[in-house]
Amino acid sequence: MASGSHSWHCCLLLAFFLVFSGADGLSTAYYATSCPSLQQVVRATVSSAIQAERRIGASLIRLFFHDCFVQACDASILLDDVPETGFVGEKTAGPNVNSVRGYEVIDRIKANVEDVCPGVVSCADIVALAARDSTALLGGPNWAVPLGRLDSTTASLAEANRDLPGPDSDLGTLIARFGAKGLSPRDMTALSGSHTVGFSQCTNFRAHIYNDTDIDPAFAALRRRTCPAAAGNGDSNLAPLDVQTQNAFDNAYYHNLLVRRGLLHSDQVLFNGGSQDALVQQYSSNPSLFAADFAKAMVKMGNLCGAGGEVRCDCRVVNDS
Ligand code: HEM
Ligand SMILES: *[C@@H]1O[C@H](CO)[C@@H](O)[C@H](O)[C@H]1NC(C)=O
């Protein structure tokens, strides 16, 4: 099988590259000589995935967030459970299960990268590049991604459940969760702007559209049509996070908040009389300010680095020791 031969080449070269991966700190030129075509290969693979299904771009942006918030940006989220050994990954954590998407696209990118540079590029760097490329291809900012992350040999279901914020979070909780990762309230508000693309399931916004008062009644009525009040009914029905321009990575998310059309409770708390109101107003009227801050915050989130590790051969499993 093709994946078998990828793993073989990958592992043959692994020892060689470990010698050169000792540098701490990331660099945009990290693979400049070891894998000069990396960025083209990732961009092309993400592009064809988005052409097949536009939502996958949003899913890949979110995958990066859910990777970085647990342990670090170390591809821990990609590890499959292994019942035989008792290894438990993060995929069944509450915020991830039946929700995080894009694992197959990461596999495809990894296979394409292995074809040109076997054993060189970490899965964690691929996730970071895929998030950047998705943002740019959906119409958002482009930026240079610092690279050189290593893939973890561990995952943490408990940390995924503890650290990832839920859609019912209030502003204080959001600020605290991001603060725990070294990200400022401003970073948090900018990063939340990625809810300009993608979808949420009814179960994640039901309470907001039925019980919250900080919501435009017409918008609540629209969303109630496909999200029944009773738990268990239509739980997985989808609605776009951005009611205005669901397909474009733009700043309409912030305009929605101004008119109380945030889909999640955790969206609307960024504009309901609290500390982020002024910034939401600025982002809604200044798209280039949002674009610049978003790119900066993605780089900052991406700098959350783990304690070392390996370049995985298969993004779903740790290498054989
Ligand atoms: C501020 C705290 C955040 C909360 C509470 C939150 C929560 C959520 C929830 C509940 C969903 C819908 C999931 C589902 O129904 O399956 C979602 C989707 C999404 N989130 Fe967040 N999120 C937050 C921050 C972020 C950040 C920082 C990013 C990336 C930088 C992000 C990117 C996305 C994207 C792109 C989607 C759509 C995914 C898709 O359509 O597959 N979110 N988020
Ligand atoms: C709304 O609040 C009431 C009273 O707390 C609760 O019984 C009900 O389940 C809530 N509905 C939703 C959809 O969250």
Spatial neighbors of 190 by CB under 8 A, at least 6 apart, are 283, 290, 293, 294, 296, 297
Taking the CA of 213 as reference, the closest ligand is 2
Spell out the domains of the chain, with CATH numbers in brackets. Answer: 4-164 (1.10.520.10), 182-299 (1.10.420.10)
192 Cα: distance to centroid of ligand 1 (angstroms): 8
294 Cα: distance to centroid of ligand 1 (angstroms): 15
The binding-site residues of ligand 1, defined as CB within 6 angstroms of any ligand atom, are 55, 58-59, 61-62, 65, 99, 101, 165-167, 169, 174, 188, 191-192, 194-195, 197-201, 204, 241, 264, 266
Which of 263, 260, 272 shows the shortest CA–CA distance to 203?
263
Q: What pLDDT does 25 receive?
A: 87
Would you state the structure tokens that stand for residue 302, as one six-digit string? 């991406």
Closest atom of ligand 2 to 229 CA is 13
Alpha helices in 19-149 (DSSP H): 38-52, 55-68, 103-116, 123-137
200 Cα: distance to centroid of ligand 2 (angstroms): 19
Return the residue whose CA atom lies nearest to atom 6 of ligand 1.
Answer: 167
pLDDT in tens, the chain (321 residues): 334 444 445 544 443 444 344 345 899 999 999 999 999 999 999 999 999 999 999 999 999 999 999 999 999 999 999 999 999 999 999 999 999 999 999 999 999 999 999 999 999 999 999 999 999 999 999 999 999 999 999 999 999 999 999 999 999 999 999 999 999 999 999 999 999 999 999 999 999 999 999 999 999 999 999 999 999 999 999 999 999 999 999 999 999 999 999 999 999 999 999 999 999 999 999 999 999 999 999 999 999 988 779 999 999 999 996
Pocket test for ligand 1, best of 61, 103, 175, 195 (most atoms within 8 A of CB): 195
Q: What pLDDT does 24 receive?
A: 53
Q: Is 66 a catalytic residue?
A: yes
Q: What pLDDT does 305 receive?
A: 85
Taking the CA of 228 as reference, the closest ligand is 2
Taking the CA of 227 as reference, the closest ligand is 2
The binding-site residues of ligand 2, defined as CB within 6 angstroms of any ligand atom, are 206-207, 210-211, 229
The per-residue b/e assignment along 86-124, b for 16 or more CB within 10 angstroms, e otherwise, is eebbbbebebbeebbbbbebbbebbebbbeebbbbbbbb
